[in-house]
Structure 1
Amino acid sequence: MTQSGLDGGHSAGRAKSWLAITIILIGFLLGGVALTMGPNWTLVWVGVGICAVGGVLALVFDVFSDVIVDAPRQVPVEEHYSPFERRS
């Protein structure tokens, strides 16, 4: 098993990371809907609070460790000529 908890090297993330992101998304959606309904400031701040709880969970669950960084690709440089380049 890799560091992200998955086999095969894809970066789908761990279940607890998805839980934190889902909580943040729910808070964001609640705040957005509350802004369009009036705005209902009580629900907006409840949404902000839910986003904050999700953010704290994301820090606790260390969601950034789910990212798999591939080795840099070596792309060969191709020769090209610009019409603005002065050739001698």
Structure 2
Amino acid sequence: MAGSSHGHTPAAWTGVIIAFIGFCVSGAFMVLASPLGFWAGMVIVVLGGVVGMAMRAAGLGQQKNAHPTHQVASAES
């Protein structure tokens, strides 16, 4: 989608960054063989999704009709 702004919103960036941090935490504790730390990281991943959805609900995400549909011209001209 050239020229689209899909995902380039504060809600998307914040949710993805929080989820990425959660994956890093889970990965580190997996290597350290600590199940409690692993699951804490997974909670952070889920928290990233919740924060992203909350920010979108607050108006910081992409609007539903931000991209109008394109009409294809008919072959009969």
Quickly name the TM-score band, shorter chain normalised: 0.5 to 0.7
Q: Which runs of 4+ in 1 moved over 6 A?
A: none
Which residue does 1:50 correspond to in 2?
A: 44
1:10 correspondence with 2:5: yes
Decide which structure has the larger Cα Rg and report it: 1
How far apart are 1:50 and its partner, in Å?
A: 0.8
Counterpart residue identity of residue 52, structure 2: A
Unaligned runs of 5+ in 1: 1-7, 75-88
More helix by share: 2
Stretch deviating more after TM superposition (9-18 or 41-50):
9-18
CA RMSD of aligned residues (A): 3.0
Which residue does 2:29 correspond to in 1?
A: 34
The aligned length equals 66
Please give the TM-score of this superposition, normalised by the length of structure 2. Answer: 0.60
Unaligned runs of 5+ in 2: none
**Would the alpha carbon gap of residues 42 and 60 (structure 1) be closer, same or farther in structure 2, given more than 3 Å must change?**
same
Which residue does 1:61 correspond to in 2?
A: 55
